[in-house]
């Protein structure tokens, strides 16, 4: 198969890395890709928003399957565009991708099909939203309705924080048109987990559970980012709870979308809060998570092109996934200042040394090559230092041992990725 991956981050590097292991993969292209991805695939400098050029490329290169990494092209209808041209593509249509591109739409689907989630209201007026939080008090969760690169959510512990978040989103327009509406939700109490699932619009095949770390600083302090690290498996989700999430969340969502006349195909991501009342949906995403993908795919023993092609052709029934018993941890090394302003072009040292460590993969999220062939920073999230281990503690140690070998000016990373898992392991012991 000739495969095209759309995107340029750590998630796309992990997807290309996994696809490259497939015996079915003849040649892999990535648009636009990054310097790390270029070691495995032919990167092509085309804008992911130019669907006409992308489709022309797919036709010219006889691409058998296009895999879309980021949410923006999906929300803008790349799947619809490709399918109209008779091109095979992995991902949901524009209408189905509203599960992520509109939190208000997702709330309506969850309400209509009895999918457990936080109570919430949508507002298209900043004054009305402020009046609401003044009336109900804090804590509350303030969400921009549209896409905000994982940064449009504020857990407001005080009314003042909630009002600031509303003003940032709806008045200052820090997320642009994504802030046309806000959703104000009750603040769920519990521990988060992420579950990705393959679906062909009828059948649902979940992947291994993982846990993301959104806030920029240790102990979940500071503003939310696109994700500062992750680990898999996540012991907060027992097998019994995993089965309940599939039965009460994933399957009703896919069934409900089909009933709405909007069949959902591709990767469905459910962000879950494990509460005392059971699992509840924090959000749905319409693609592979980042950085969850970087810890889930290294544990997947199944050829990834098998479920991907089955989703695209509507033949997922009977497909099963095999998983390694090993744990996986990824630590994001970010540019100083992220998720705010940061500098690019810092020289990165030690990647080769880190990759020589046992069971370590360095996925590139924001890098480029310099004139002399050196690695340079080229984004907020720069590298995903990923390691396997027989246990979660061993995977944590392996990942941080590799992190200590990599250096660039003002590098920032959390030092506590995976620590939440340890308390569950100790309880089991």
pLDDT of residue 427: 59
Say what the pTM is: 0.93
Residue 429 scores a pLDDT above 70: no
Structure tokens at 290: 């980042």
Distinct helix (H) and strand (E) counts, the chain: 15, 24
Cβ(386)–Cβ(362) below 8 Å: yes
Residue 384, strand partner residues: 332, 363
- For 2-93, CATH number? 3.40.50.20
Query: Given pLDDT bands bounded at 50, 70 and 90, which one contains residue 259?
Result: very high
Quick one: DSSP state of residue 178?
A: G
CATH T-level fold of 327-428: 3.90.600
CB atoms within 10 A of CB 242: 18
Cβ(217)–Cβ(415) below 8 Å: no
Residue range 138-157: average pLDDT?
88
Q: What is the DSSP annotation of 17-41?
A: HHHHT-TT-SEEEEEE--TTGGGTS
Establish how many alpha carbons lie within 13 A of residue 232's alpha carbon, considering only the half-sphere containing its beta carbon: 25
Q: Among 222, 244, 241, 223, which Cα is nearest to 233's?
A: 241
Q: pLDDT tens-digit profile of 360-414?
A: 999 999 999 999 999 999 999 999 999 999 999 999 999 999 999 999 999 999 9
Q: pLDDT tens-digit profile of 81-130?
A: 999 999 999 999 999 999 999 999 999 999 999 999 999 999 999 999 99
Q: pLDDT tens-digit profile of 157-177?
A: 999 999 999 999 999 999 999
Query: Cα separation of 30 and 20, whole Å?
Result: 12
Phi (first) and psi of residue 367, to 5 degrees: -135, 160
Burial label, 424 (beta-carbon count in 10 A; 0-12, 13-18, 19+): middle
Query: Cα separation of 158 and 154, whole Å?
Result: 11
Query: Cα separation of 162 and 164, whole Å?
Result: 5
Secondary element (H or E) of residue 381: strand 381-389
Residue 151 scores a pLDDT above 90: no
Query: Cα separation of 251 and 248, whole Å?
Result: 7
**Residue ranges per structural domain of the chain:** 2-93, 123-180, 190-313, 327-428
Per DSSP bridges, beta strands 215-217 and 221-224 are antiparallel
CATH class of the region 190-313: alpha beta
Pick the CATH number of 123-180 from 2.40.50.140, 3.30.465.10, 3.40.50.970, 3.30.1490.20: 3.30.1490.20
Q: What mean pLDDT value characterizes the chain?
A: 95
Query: Given pLDDT bands bounded at 50, 70 and 90, which one contains residue 314?
Result: confident
Residue 426 scores a pLDDT above 70: no
CA 76 to chain centre: 18
């Amino acid at each position: 198969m000739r495969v095209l991956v759309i995107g340029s981050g750590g998630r796309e590097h992990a997807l290309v890395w996994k696809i490259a292991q497939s015996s079915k993969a003849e040649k892999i292209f990535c648009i636009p890709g990054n310097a790390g991805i270029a070691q495995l695939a032919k990167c092509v400098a085309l804008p992911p928003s130019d669907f006409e050029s992308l489709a022309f490329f797919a036709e010219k290169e006889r691409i058998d399957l296009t895999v879309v990494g980021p949410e923006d092209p999906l929300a803008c209808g790349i799947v619809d565009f490709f399918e109209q041209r008779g091109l095979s593509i992995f991902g949901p249509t524009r209408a189905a991708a509203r599960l992520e591109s509109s939190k208000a739409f997702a709330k309506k689907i969850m309400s209509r099909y009895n999918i457990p989630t936080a109570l919430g209201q949508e507002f298209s007026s900043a004054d009305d939203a402020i009046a609401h939080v003044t009336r109900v008090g804090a804590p509350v969760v303030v969400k921009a309705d549209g896409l905000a690169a994982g940064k449009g959510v504020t857990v407001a512990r005080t009314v003042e924080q909630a009002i600031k978040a509303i003003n940032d989103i709806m008045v200052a327009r820090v997320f642009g048109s994504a802030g046309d509406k806000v959703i104000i939700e009750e603040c769920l109490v519990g521990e988060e987990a992420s579950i990705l699932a393959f679906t062909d619009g009828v059948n649902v095949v979940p992947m291994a559970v993982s846990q993301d770390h959104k806030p920029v600083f240790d102990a979940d302090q500071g503003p939310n980012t696109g994700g500062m690290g992750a680990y898999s498996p996540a012991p907060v989700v027992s097998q019994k709870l995993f089965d309940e999430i599939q039965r009460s969340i994933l399957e009703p969502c896919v069934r409900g979308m089909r009933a709405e006349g909007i069949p959902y195909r591709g990767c469905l991501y459910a962000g879950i809060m494990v509460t005392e009342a059971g699992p509840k949906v924090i959000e749905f995403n319409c693609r592979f998570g980042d950085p969850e993908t970087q810890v889930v795919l290294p544990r997947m023993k199944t050829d990834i092109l098998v479920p991907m092609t089955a989703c695209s052709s509507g033949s997922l029934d009977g497909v099963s996934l095999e998983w390694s018993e090993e744990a996986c941890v990824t630590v994001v090394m970010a540019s100083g200042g992220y998720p705010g302003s940061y500098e690019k072009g810092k020289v990165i040292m030690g990647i080769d040394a880190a990759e020589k460590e046992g069971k370590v993969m360095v996925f590139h999220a924001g890098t480029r090559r310099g004139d002399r062939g050196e690695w340079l920073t080229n984004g907020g999230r720069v590298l995903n230092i990923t390691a396997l281990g027989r246990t979660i503690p061993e995977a944590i140690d392996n990942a941080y041992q590799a992190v200590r070998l990599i250096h660039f000016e003002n590098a920032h990373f959390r030092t506590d990725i995976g620590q939440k898992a340890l308390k569950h392991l100790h309880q089991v012991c």
